[in-house]
A and B are shown apart, each in its own frame.
Chain A
Amino acid sequence: MFLKTEQITKDFGKLRAVNEVSLDIRKGDIHAIIGPNGAGKSTYFNLVTGYHQASAGKVLFKDQEITHLPAFKRCKLGITRSFQITSIYPKLTVYESVLMALLSHRKVTLKFFSSAKKFFKEEVWHILEDVGLAEQANVMGDSISHGDKKRLELAITLGTEPELLLLDEPTCGMSTEETETTMDLISKLSRERGITILFTEHDMSVVFGIAKRISVLHQGTLIADGSAQEVRASEEVQKVYLGGAA
């Protein structure tokens, strides 16, 4: 099994944000987690990536238990994430930002005397061209548009050459058009680089268009898990989330 959570639970005081969620993510899939605001999607992400420590349950990645590993170690194993509120380097150039990810992933960050700029030129340009940021390579991270910032964060995560990429609301705040190109880009990257993608999304049309599998969270509990048709057909999902509109 690629990624597996076993009855993973997170309590914040008396609030149970994630309630015994057991889920298998298959290698190569594009897997969506949906649910209304406060359903526990982001908290679930945080448990998988090590941002939060689980209150109970287990996280297994490629049959290795990672429940209590710190975030940076999970990243070294091949799990990288983006954040719901775009997390980039405001005062590094687009190029340097992606370079940083590669320096870290290829384990050269303890080199003290060689020039950082000499490393991985080809790889950085390849990523920048893939996500369409090559023309802005020398622009500071805080000087590009909102949509470009989202794509920059995606480019940074690609720099760690992940096996599993978790994208927290990758199209949040984008126009319909931008959303479409971004989702196309994500599915292309998954295909070409063989990356398994787990993402959260609130826009239903986006999810049903691209995700091979969909899991639905409601008040911290997993209420449905399956293909788009299966999830759409689930009565419970229609009741709590789709409101019959689908």
Chain B
Amino acid sequence: MIKRGWWLLLLIIASLIAPAILSEFYLTVLCEALVMSLLALSFNLLFGYMGQLSFGQAAFYGLGGYAVAMLITKLQFNFWLSLLAGILLPSLIGLLVGYFCVRLRGIYFAILTLAFGQLIFFIVYKWHDFTGGDDGIQGVFPPGIMKNPIVYYYFILFIFLASAFILWRIIHSPFGQTIKSMRENTERTEFLGIHIARYQLITFVIAAAFAGLAGAIWVPFYRSVAPSYLMWIKSGEPVMAAILGGPNVFFGPILGMFIMTFFHAWVLGFTYFWPVIMGAMILTIIFLLPGGILGFAQEKLKERREKNEFGKGTTLKCF
């Protein structure tokens, strides 16, 4: 635990002094990486821990963003209450969508979340009078001193760390143990007295809430929101991040998202062929490092540990 703690502490210290070191451009990139990492963590609660692939997670991210943008620009709503609405609205829609999705598993679950995600996207996209359609909404300002990007960066950092901590606790709680068990063997878990659909629905709503929160804190920083935030392409980003970093390690999706976001920002400086490079990266990971970067690293560490512990780790399989 102490061994694991030191690099975490180092990262937190680094993120605290980051504004003093980074240029304004890369500070913006860092903000985006943190927000998108929160989205990836929410997604991975479903994918890595419950074992269901959601392909519509961006819809909740976008809904969180739209709730904040519309309340602030149209109703001059209080910033903090808007943020709260940015969590509540996606949770509520998540409850509704989840009610249907949790009846299905595997590829059917993925397709249904994709379908619902696109449905929500099209409603926002087409409903021009209400949502601004493809124009999106501009001029979403945070209040007072939070207009300063450095102050807002610390706000994002705080929300990110607090959310990550809460998700970490959930994953290691009895509830987390239950969804992991469902992933490992749904039938066995049901026959231990667990109402599978109910636990899937709760997880779905938690994931929607954190995705919404990510959208809600991003939009006032970026000052605008657009329908593309809800689109399936956006939903693909947390999927790739989780696969890149490792869905079975808590920090996997964060690492994946940081690599993607920073690499993206850097590569765009000299080429437009970003998707090609990203595709090549994903392919490399899938073939060379199954389990993602952190998953692979963890596996190697474990092997070494087991070799050191004499006699342990021998496996005997017989049928």
Contacts and interface: CB of A to CB of B under 8 A. Distances in A.
B193 interface: yes
A100 B178 contact: yes
Given A72-B194, A156-B192, A92 B176 contact: no
B185 A90 contact: yes
A156 B188 contact: yes
B192 A160 contact: yes
B304 interface: no
Classify chain A: how many residues form its interface, as a range. 35 or more
Interface residues of B, number: 30
A87 B315 contact: no
Given A72-B195, A90-B185, A109 B175 contact: yes
Interface stretch (B53-61, B105-113, B166-174): B166-174
Interface of B: 166, 169-170, 172-178, 180-181, 184-185, 187-196, 199, 315-319
Contacts of B174: 103, 108-111, 114, 116, 119
A204 to B, nearest CB: 24
Contact of A71 (B180, B191, B315): B191
Interface of A: 49, 51, 70-73, 75-76, 80-81, 83, 87-92, 96-97, 99-101, 103-105, 108-117, 119, 143-146, 156, 159-160, 173
Contacts of B190: 71-72
B162 to A, nearest CB: 13
A105 B191 CA distance: 11
B283 to A, nearest CB: 25
Contact of A49 (B185, B191, B196): B191
Contacts of B172: 115-117
A199 B205 CA distance: 41
11 contacts: A49-B191, A70-B195, A75-B193, A83-B187, A92-B180, A100-B181, A105-B192, A112-B169, A112-B170, A112-B173, A173-B319
